[in-house]
């Protein structure tokens, strides 16, 4: 069984270096083009199912792929971004200035960081693992999942055995795809990480921030 993990396309808040969290920002013009190029690349990938965070930046990323493949998109709350609490809508330089100790903890030990008013990373991982176990029990052969930076990094780290405090080492660009495969013996392998070849072909830029 193959899983294609996809980070949503670009929003205006990405270009402004703001934390989006649960704020329901739409894709900007570049993001809409990124989603189209993603769909063109994956249209013949043999998808059996598409799951998406219910936030519109994820759903708008999934829509062209659903249209290109004829596979409907199923929204799932477990795929939504972390609730960033008091950090929501702030730039990272603002966060570093306003919450210096917590930000430093987040920078070096993100899994145990406690952001004021925010969902905890371990809670994000728990719902992502629950989602993965649920769809792994289905008969679908190739599944696309459109989500957000933190849920994806935590899930990928879990699947490949990367320590959770090393998630900042994983790069996930807008519409970057990471593919994992569950072999018949149960072994999980990383096929590729952060594939953005469709953006290079379209001469589009991408953002690394959430």
CA 50 to chain centre: 14
d(CA 8, CA 151): 12
| Residue written as token pair 């959430």 | 210
User: Is 81 marked active-site?
Assistant: yes
User: Is 8 marked active-site?
Assistant: yes
Residues 6+ apart with CB under 8 A from 72: 50, 66
Q: How many residues does the chain have?
A: 210
Active-site annotation holder among 8, 37, 148, 198? 8
Residues 6+ apart with CB under 8 A from 12: 25, 28
Strand order across the 177-182 sheet: 73-75, 49-52, 142-147, 2-7, 177-182, 188-195
Active-site annotation holder among 36, 37, 81, 179? 81
d(CA 121, CA 109): 11
Residues 6+ apart with CB under 8 A from 137: none
Active site members = 8, 81
């Amino acid at each position: 069984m193959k899983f294609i993990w996809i980070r949503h396309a670009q929003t205006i808040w990405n270009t402004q270096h703001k934390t989006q969290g649960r704020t329901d920002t739409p894709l900007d013009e570049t993001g809409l083009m990124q989603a189209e190029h993603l769909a063109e690349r994956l249209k013949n990938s043999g998808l059996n199912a598409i799951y998406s965070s219910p936030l519109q930046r994820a759903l708008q990323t999934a829509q062209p792929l659903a249209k290109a493949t004829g596979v409907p998109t199923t929204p799932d709350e477990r795929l939504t971004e972390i609730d960033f609490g008091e950090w929501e809508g702030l730039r990272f330089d603002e966060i570093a200035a306003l919450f210096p100790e917590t930000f430093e903890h987040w920078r070096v030990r993100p899994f145990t960081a406690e952001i004021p008013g925010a969902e905890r990373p371990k809670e994000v991982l728990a719902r992502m693992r629950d989602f993965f176990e649920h769809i792994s029990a289905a008969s679908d052969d190739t599944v696309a999942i459109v989500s957000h930076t933190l849920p994806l990094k935590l899930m990928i780290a879990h699947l490949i055995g990367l320590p959770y405090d090393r998630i900042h080492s994983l790069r996930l660009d807008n519409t970057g795809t990471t593919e994992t495969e569950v072999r018949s013996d149960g072994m999980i392998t990383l096929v590729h990480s952060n594939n953005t070849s469709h953006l290079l072909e379209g001469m589009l830029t991408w953002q690394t921030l959430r």
